[in-house]
A and B are shown apart, each in its own frame.
Chain A
């Protein structure tokens, strides 16, 4: 991109020579963030926060960065903004608990506060509903969070550029780029990219700069972005600054004269070209045919929705630039070394010449550099120290090293530290290999780490080690590098063969530096490892991709070469799962593009103990702060936990496990029914098989072994969780002291205080809810089999917000006669009214054969593919538990096999009650996509389903077990997320 100076020609009136103080007069320095702690964490605690923020803001001024003050309610925001007049911008979420964003904007205005209110939404559906209902009102600009922390940059820059354009561009001639786009999701996605590229571009100029003021000048003189959402705004900007418009990036269709105009883009570009025919123009559209139209206007073309959109955009806008090092110089300005980050800064500080230290010290370069990286505390600490305060320059050197090291140590406890081959300690909490983001899951873990420390949970449970198991995160940059170096990106996006993707990934070479880091990591980490996905989009509050990507376990045994090979293979498998059919299907349902997804990988110590050729924790589980199926005296808000002996696969896969309410550990419903408990309690558990070979494609879970309880008893792991059934007395007694049939009941723990599981979970759920401002789900594993003298270990594996949005507004179902109903349930997930469903896919209760449930799943999948392909949503009705891994308990579909269903009904078998599969990944995904979920057990008087009516409808297709019915008129589905009630009404005819 041509620098600003090229745009000023001699023919035009001479402008004043810019000096940096004149530029960027309006800067966003103080931001009031109104959101839950979790929302703010997403913004500020992405693994790369320090570097990311530094990159984002370093163009402004090496010593000035915006600070973020967070409050959690509208009222608090108004109070803080009113008292403290320094805020330049308010960033708000849609719902604030006490008010929504529209009301906040209105009240800010009413209070006479001249602060723009910018909305940052986390969920497209929620945003659309909000805008439909409230309009923009006083909201200055709306953005949509899409997993990219750089959106903060875009929001701030957008604000600043608009405020400064009049002076900077109008008076000082700083160039500007017109971006015309009214689609919030699109501009939220590409504005950060454009700004980032501009930052890189500008930053490159620093090293060319001669002195600090010049550097600053160049940084501040970077081109401005003028985002316009209407024809009129764009034209008005152009008319005002036509000389300085560097280029145009325009949509085809956007509002003109108050109405959406398909030709607005063409008109605008044509009109501008009449004035400035040479202006570089890029036009974008989701219609491929428009490429020709763009060509006709002498404009480049970008296809919206293209998997390589951002890549193309980047190509079109700028070249690659380096960024970010601390440049050590001799007093004469000669560069002698560079430091990329704090770690290398400390390293270089040990060796650079003393005069260099003096040079930078005297000029406060260290504190300025640190401040640019948002290391405010350290910067503030170093700033007052003068070189003259130290007897010798060596004392200055030691003080700097000490201060920075101590700071890093303290910071690394709560934030993610960089992996250091030489100093890595396998017991330290979370470190990162490579740059880029940590991804959603790892970010969540870092957040948990911070919560655990801040709330000091450990002191409330002395004698238990409560922590996030040590983990190393391979950052998303390594993923990018892996794809780039092996040219796998486009192939993986377009290939439909998972097997081929996995094979090519397996054969591809792993980035050299990262490989050496992994090798160094394995030198110290000799325990079994869980290799877990951590996608950018994973576990975001509105779009949890829970369980979509792969987790691979490696036993980490054998020669060094074997261990490294197995680990790298596992990482590649996780990478490959980014492009699985399931992931593609899931993302297809969301506003995101797969190209936007980037994969970080967590290498985490598996909590557990060796027992012969097996490795497993005493137990694992999932706890949720909201229970959709509470039984008195429990309330929905009391939460629910599901636990199982051994590895957590049993819990997430919906196998037999024990459910209890952490607030009522002694009120376990399952204990009341001996026959039911015998039938449904866990009899087998999962362990890592230490003798297993690395699994090949299609061998999901081959590294695991399924074992009976006799093994657990012999290993000593059953004692704390077991009970005993006596056939003679037909009773179940707590513990395993007596002879009889062993069961997993957790009774010694829940009733006899062997381990304070319930109390701990209750506290963690509470802390999680407070921290995120929403209901959460946590995953954990506990190891009680520790050597004598050591404390039991509670490993906090994951926390994610439960997607419960949209369940707050009341929906009256009323009294409806049974004959008008196809289905009624009091156990419904989902909320809202649907009136557009005519297609029913029905697994006939009379024909269903539990032993052939795999065939049933296949038949359902086939119909799903056809309907999804045609874009027809449908109601899926079946018997047993949907998505059950035990094919005897239901229909073992995977998520993508039913991804097109809008409403799902599960009914009990004639001889078996369906217990809803709480807390499974399957459920999590369904609820996040707002798929309605009805559970009925008519044989037990819980709800109804009119099988006879269904049987009397003619089938459009009948595959043996499954009937596809297309009704002439749609059914009406009503679901109340608040009361958990729902009905499906037959068509009115």
Chain B
């Protein structure tokens, strides 16, 4: 380990005992940035890393509420205002019994770089409570949210801190929180994202991640003077991300061959059409059927069930140009990565979170595959939160096309930032390094500019 990182970590552990998740996150970032810090001693001298790991503000508060039986319940609320160098704090609220200060700090720290990478003016934060919405009535959840916001409202605002949803905080909770904020602050502002479509929410949220990963792939191909037109594409999964990945791929003229669910996958040599996609959307979103049923309707497709004993996923073993893992974690291992290479795949854009194992990533990097890691390629989801803020500030709602266009620009910017950072620090074409460094640099430079605050 770099001596600087070693000494930093000793300090982190001493100051933040019993927060192993936070320690690990700091160490990973610090290690990946060693090359930057070596080359640019000004960051070290101004103690950017030391400052960036220390939250700007920690808010911890009591959340008392009354349950349906009239019993008083007490939970603990948190808001970690981690970094506001490039914009208002931005990050989700999590309601789950596992929530602790250490976990939220770790999440807030990662959020700083994720938000930075989108190129939008969003700082990093995170918050939540050890409240468990599971098994609570709507009214109990509402009373809890109102009590939570009764304290939180004085710390947040559209230009200060804009929380969003996370685990345990969905549309229902955002609604209750927003209602109470509006009542206390006496203003209707974009203080939360993830709002309902008819009261400040943005369009394209379900589509954003899938569209974004396709845009990112298109940008990667453009570096080799290619487009998605006519490319044979393998897509895994059949949820939101996969469905909208296919939709955007079809928009851009690609030929999509596969989709999957936990039971197996379908391979349609003739490629998906809009009609076939619409069948899949009805099957998965309305009827909640199995992807296998696709073959009942479209005889051109072949269904193969997954066999965990095989040690690889046959979906990745078809002749193709591009792959869009959009299902789940660890769905591409080293063997799958080899199979993709063998079948001619030269671009992989991750719509899912961490779908490729570390071994698999090494295979891609060693073989110069255009590999868009999730933290960059699926940043579309986070970006739409930023676009919701923008629309709220303007008091105007963009059309689908407008949001989609901006999403495309954002993905283009992310790609550009990754490419530039990777080239600048000696690993051209390595989007993994590029994403890590680009996210950091933007925040670090802003902090440099703003003095010791």
Contacts and interface: CB of A to CB of B under 8 A. Distances in A.
Contact of A666 (B138, B170, B201): B138
B136 A730 contact: no
Interface stretch (A98-106, A210-218, A566-574, A849-857): A849-857
B136 A667 contact: yes
Contact of B197 (A666, A667, A729, A910): A729
Contacts of B262: 850, 911-912
A837 to B, nearest CB: 28
A669 B135 contact: yes
Given A728-B206, A730-B205, A731-B196, A679 B288 contact: yes
B224 interface: no
Contact of B139 (A666, A672, A846, A847): A666
Nearest to A728: B197
A384 interface: no
B265 to A, nearest CB: 12
Interface residues of B, number: 37
B453 interface: no
B133 A888 contact: no
B171 interface: yes
A679 B288 CA distance: 7
A678 to B, nearest CB: 7
B290 interface: yes
B68 A666 contact: yes
Contact of B201 (A728, A851, A888): A728
Interface string B184-198: 000000000000110
Contacts of B203: 728
B439 interface: no
A84 interface: no
A751 interface: yes
A93 to B, nearest CB: 37
B135 to A, nearest CB: 5
Interface string B149-178: 000000000000000000010111000000
A888 B263 CA distance: 8
A672 B136 contact: yes
B397 to A, nearest CB: 12
B307 interface: yes
User: Which residue among A664, A666, A684, A728 has the maximum number of chain B CB atoms within 10 Å of its CB?
Assistant: A728
B69 interface: yes
Given A729-B201, A730-B170, A851 B288 contact: no
A754 to B, nearest CB: 15
Interface string B41-79: 000000000000000000000000001110000000000
B8 to A, nearest CB: 33
Most interface-central of B292, B309, B328 (chain A CB within 10 A)? B309
B190 to A, nearest CB: 16
Interface in B291-309: 292, 305-309
Given A847-B309, A851-B305, A888-B290, A669 B197 contact: no
Contacts of B286: 683, 708, 741-742
Interface string A168-188: 000000000000000000000
Given A632-B135, A672-B133, A846 B309 contact: yes
A726 interface: yes
B134 interface: yes
Contact of A751 (B133, B134, B136, B138): B138
Contacts of A678: 288
Nearest to A731: B171
Contacts of B136: 667, 672
Interface in A702-733: 708, 726-731
Interface string B237-277: 00010000000000000000000001110000000000000
B287 interface: yes
Interface residues of A, number: 37
A317 interface: no
A708 B287 contact: yes
B170 A731 contact: yes
Nearest to B137: A666
A912 B328 CA distance: 13
A674 interface: yes
Given A666-B138, A846-B309, A912-B262, A729 B287 contact: no
B169 to A, nearest CB: 11
Contacts of A2: none
Interface in A669-692: 669, 671-674, 678-679, 683-684
A683 B305 contact: no
A851 B264 contact: yes
Contact of A673 (B68, B134, B292): B134
B138 A633 contact: no
Interface string B17-44: 0000000000000000000000000000
A631 interface: yes
A633 B240 contact: no
Given A683-B288, A741-B286, A631 B135 contact: yes
B393 interface: no
Given A633-B69, A678-B288, A728-B201, A667 B135 contact: yes
Contacts of A632: 135
Contacts of B170: 674, 730-731
A851 B263 contact: yes
Given A851-B264, A911-B262, A731 B172 contact: yes
B167 to A, nearest CB: 10
Interface in A902-926: 910-912
Given A846-B309, A847-B309, A851-B264, A727 B135 contact: no
A632 B73 CA distance: 14
A846 B308 contact: yes
Contacts of B309: 846-847
B313 to A, nearest CB: 14
B236 to A, nearest CB: 14
B137 A727 contact: no
Contacts of A631: 134-135
Contacts of B133: 672
A852 B285 contact: no
Contacts of B240: 727
Interface in A557-588: none
Nearest to B303: A851
A820 to B, nearest CB: 28
A849 B307 contact: yes
A744 to B, nearest CB: 12
A239 to B, nearest CB: 72
B359 to A, nearest CB: 20
Interface in B85-136: 133-136
Interface string A643-675: 000000000000000000000101111011110
A429 B438 CA distance: 78
A849 B305 contact: yes
Contact of A727 (B134, B138, B285, B305): B285
A124 B137 CA distance: 45
A668 B134 CA distance: 8
Contacts of B134: 631, 669, 672-673
A231 to B, nearest CB: 64
Nearest to A708: B287
Interface in A857-881: none
A358 to B, nearest CB: 71
Nearest to B290: A888
A730 B305 contact: no
16 contacts: A631-B134, A633-B69, A667-B137, A671-B138, A672-B134, A672-B168, A674-B170, A683-B287, A683-B288, A726-B197, A728-B205, A729-B201, A730-B170, A751-B138, A846-B308, A849-B306
Interface of B: 67-69, 133-140, 168, 170-172, 196-197, 201, 203, 205-206, 240, 262-264, 285-288, 290, 292, 305-309, 328
Nearest 3 A/B pairs, CB to CB: A731-B171, A666-B137, A672-B134
Interface of A: 631-634, 664, 666-669, 671-674, 678-679, 683-684, 708, 726-731, 741-742, 751, 846-847, 849-852, 888, 910-912
